Structure 1
Amino acid sequence: MPNPAHAYASCDRITLTGVAAVGFHGALDFEKREGQPFIVDTVLYTDFTQAAATDDLAQTTNYAEVAEIIRTHIVGESLDLIETLAVRIAQNILDECAYVHALEVTVNKPKAPIEVTFGNVAVTVFREREGTQSQGGKGAGARG
């Protein structure tokens, strides 16, 4: 299956990695009681043309706001699946950040209750703003 993010290869990107907090997500009761660290990485596909021309934060995506959206979801409502967490984070970013055309969100669960030695478990979702065609390129699906 082709990677839909490849359609955005020529887009500008903001990469935010390692947003970490303790959350209470998991299908097992003790995960919901005790909590564990979750680490989220995201790639935001956008267009810097206007922001670069004006040197104006209001013309781009404020990554501090994105980090807060992510943290709010990690520490918020307890969910059974990290897949659900990833989808909700992605949708919230698209809802709040008009300059994001598409994004990838990866939720890492490094302390997952797995009985064998492992380094990490993660899920990644890719989402596009509705009405954005998977053509990528500067200005694809621009709003704002």
Structure 2
Amino acid sequence: MTDRIELTGLRARGHHGVYDFERAQGQDFVVDVILELDLSRAAASDDVTDTVHYGELAERLVKIVEGEPVNLIETLADRLAAACLRDDRVSVATVTVHKPQAPIPHEFADVAVTLSRSAVTLSRSAEDRA
């Protein structure tokens, strides 16, 4: 059984991008997160401590978006996924980072990067960096 918690449309201002003006001016980023985990214990207990508290999750994610700048939204998405996976109950985190004000000289609706990470891929990635 795979249950899900979804947090969509989380908006925060960050200073990410490859161009100096993006880092200086900042822009809004929108984050969507899907967490896969077993929610049966929380459903039975009706206790918030048996689930991922989505308000606390939102706070952690906003701090990352508002925090240290990175060049690529791929890097930002990876950092957000890692934060989601710090809760051992989460088996998979799928994160989409939208950059609606990306510096593209053409009309467009959205630019987004989506990635999925599991505890297994997270530990492999950490081993690769070691």
1:119 aligns with: 109
Among 92, 95, 100, the alignment partner of 1:105 is 95
Aligned counterparts of 1:50 and 1:112: Cα–Cα separation in 2: 41
Segments of structure 2 that go 5 or more residues without pairing to the other structure are: 122-130
**Superimposed CA distance per residue, residues 95-135 of structure 1 (whole angstroms, 9 cap, x where no aligned partner):** 1x22211010000000000011100100011001139xxxx
Ranked by relative contact order (alpha carbons within 8 Å, sequence separation 6 or more), the top structure is: 1
Where 2:81 maps in the other structure, the secondary structure is helix
Pair 1:89 & 2:92 matched: no
Aligned to 1:78: 69
Distance in 2 of aligned mates of 1:121 and 1:111: 8
Aligned pair 1:18/2:9, yes or no? yes
Q: For 1:119, what is the secondary structure of its paired residue?
A: coil
Provide the alpha-carbon RMSD of the alignment.
1.1
| 1:57 shift after superposition | 0.8
Following superposition, the deviation at residue 93 of structure 1 comes to 1.4
Query: TM-score, structure 1 length as denominator?
Result: 0.81
State the identity %.
46
Residue correspondence of structure 1 range 62-77 to structure 2 within 5 A: 62-77=53-68
The structure in which a higher percent of residues are strand is 2
Contact 2:35 2:84 (C-alpha < 8 Å) held by counterparts: no
Deviation beyond 3 Å, 4+ runs, structure 1: none
Structure 1: tracts of 5 or more residues without a match: 1-9, 132-144
